[in-house]
Amino acid sequence: MKAIEFSAELQKRLGLSKKETDRLINETVEVITDQLQKNNVVSLHNLGYLEVKKRNERLMVNPVTGKRSLVPPKLIVGFKASTSLKEKIKELS
């Protein structure tokens, strides 16, 4: 599902205008981003949670050239699905 399709589906379900729906989505993303920048875990009911994780420094080998290089540590956003979401996905198979 693309962003425009997601927005259209929310419009239909909530009965909001396109402008209101876009504002709702943008504000939601902004709140989540602000909380992740503060290193807080964001828990979304029946979906899962997002958190900032530190990926350690590691050695990488280019498979084509065989050249080794050091990848510096960095921060990433991790997502863990809730149990209810996992169960709903499992029902599809």
Spans of all domains in the chain: 1-37, 41-93
- For domain 41-93, give the fold: HU Protein; Chain A (4.10.520)
Statement: residue 33 has pLDDT above 90: yes
For residues 32 and 49, the answer to whether their CB atoms sit within 8 Å is no
Q: What is the pLDDT of residues 35-86, one digit of tens each?
A: 999 999 999 999 999 999 999 999 999 999 999 999 999 999 999 999 999 9
Whether the per-residue pLDDT at 93 is higher than 90: the answer is no
Please state the pTM of the whole predicted model.
0.79
Residue pair 68/61 in contact by the 8 Å Cβ criterion: yes
